[in-house]
Homo-oligomer: A and B are copies of this chain.
Amino acid sequence: MIFTTKAEYGVRLLIELGKSEGGAPLSLKAIAEREGLPLAYLERIVALLKKANLVEATRGAHGGYRLSRPATDIRMDEAVHALEGQVAPMSCFVDDRPGAGKVLCSHHDDGDLCATRLLWMRVHGGVTEALHRTTLAELVAFSHRDAKQPELIQIGTDA
């Protein structure tokens, strides 16, 4: 499995916020009920999104969360990264150094490469590309139409 429920719940949460964009802030309790998710767990998940500046919180009665940016400007690579942390195809494939987008394999100490590297690079590329390509606005639109207009949105790139 690539992602955990953190990503699943987190993205669903974002979609709910996206649906009520422009309106009053949405409370976690409301979201938890709508989506059938455990409230206490959602609290921890939304904290990740807040730390990444994807959502803003209003405390107190009639408070809740809202997107800190229009849904069109929220790309899923950012969201998923906030929720799951580094998305690597393999445990040896993590970039520690801050600031760098480089990925490296720790099997060979020097600059030497382990043979699987090419494969994981490609997979990693495929995932990040797919995530980056998808905006929250798209997902909101997708959830709005539900069963109405079957195939307005295409899944892949133009072949």
Report which A residues bind B (CB closer than 8 A). 1-3, 5, 7-8, 11-12, 15, 76, 87-92, 111-123, 125-127, 129-131, 133-134, 138-140, 142-143, 146-147, 153, 155-156
Determine whether the beta carbon of A127 is less than 8 Å from that of B123. yes
CB pair B142 A115 closer than 8 Å: yes
| Nearest 4 A/B pairs, CB to CB | A126-B126, A115-B143, A126-B130, A122-B130
Instruction: Name the B residues within 8 Å of A126 (CB-CB).
Output: 125-127, 129-130
SS of A interface (majority)? helix
Complex: A114 Cα to B127 Cα, angstroms: 20
Give which listed residue, B1, B116, B147, contacts A15 with CB less than 8 A: B116
| Copies of chain A in the complex | 2
- Residue among B87, B125, B156 making CB contact with A125, cutoff 8 Å: B156
Bound complex: CA A3 to CA B133 (Å): 22
* Nearest CB of chain B from residue A86's CB, rounded to whole Å: 9
Contact B121 A1 (CB under 8 A): no
